[in-house]
Structure 1
Amino acid sequence: MTADPTAPVPVVLGIDDLRALPRATRIARTSREGVQLLEEHRDSFVDELWLDHDLGGDDTVMPVVTLLEEAAFDGRPFRIGTVFVHSANPIGAENVVRSLARWNYRVRRTTAEAATGTSG
Structure 2
Amino acid sequence: MNTDAAPVAPVILGIDDLRPLPRATRIARTSHEGIRLLREHREVFIDELWLDHDLGGDDSIMPVVTVLEEAAFNGHPFQIGMIFVHSANPSGAETVVRVLQRWNYQVRRTTAESP
Counterpart contact for 1:88–1:112, Cα < 8 Å: no
Question: What is the aligned partner in structure 1 of residue 17 from structure 2?
Answer: 17
Q: Structure 1, residues 21-45: CA drift from partner, whole Å, max 9, x if none?
A: 0000000000000000000000110
1:114 partner SS? coil
Deviation of 1:113 (Å): 3.0
TM-score (norm 1): 0.90
Q: 1:44 corresponds to which residue?
A: 44
**1:112 to partner: Cα distance:** 2.9
- In structure 2, the residue corresponding to 1:97 is in which secondary structure? helix
- Aligned-CA RMSD value: 1.3
Equivalent residue letter for 1:77? P
2-structure distance, mates of 1:13, 1:106: 15
Does the Cα contact within 8 Å between 2:12 and 2:48 map onto a contact in 1? yes
**Which runs of 5 or more residues in structure 2 are unaligned?**
none
Matches of 1:111 and 1:27 in 2, distance apart? 16
Cα offset for 1:5? 7.5
The CA distance in 2 between the partners of 1:112 and 1:7, in whole Å, is 26
Q: Structure 1: which 5+ residue stretches go unaligned?
A: 116-120
Q: What is residue 87 of structure 2 aligned with on the other side?
A: 87
Q: Which residue of 2 aligns with 1:105?
A: 105
1:114 deviates by 2.0
Secondary structure (helix, strand or coil) at the match of 2:81 reads: strand
- Which consecutive aligned stretches of 4+ in structure 1 deviate over 6 angstroms post-superposition? none
Q: Distance in 1 between matches of 2:53 and 2:114?
A: 15
Q: Secondary structure of 2:113's match?
A: helix
Change (3 A) 1:5 1:24: farther
Per-residue deviation at 1:111? 1.3
CA contact (8 A) 2:21 2:113 kept: no
**TM-score after normalising by structure 2:** 0.94
What's the counterpart of residue 29 of structure 2? 29
Matching residue of 1:65: 65
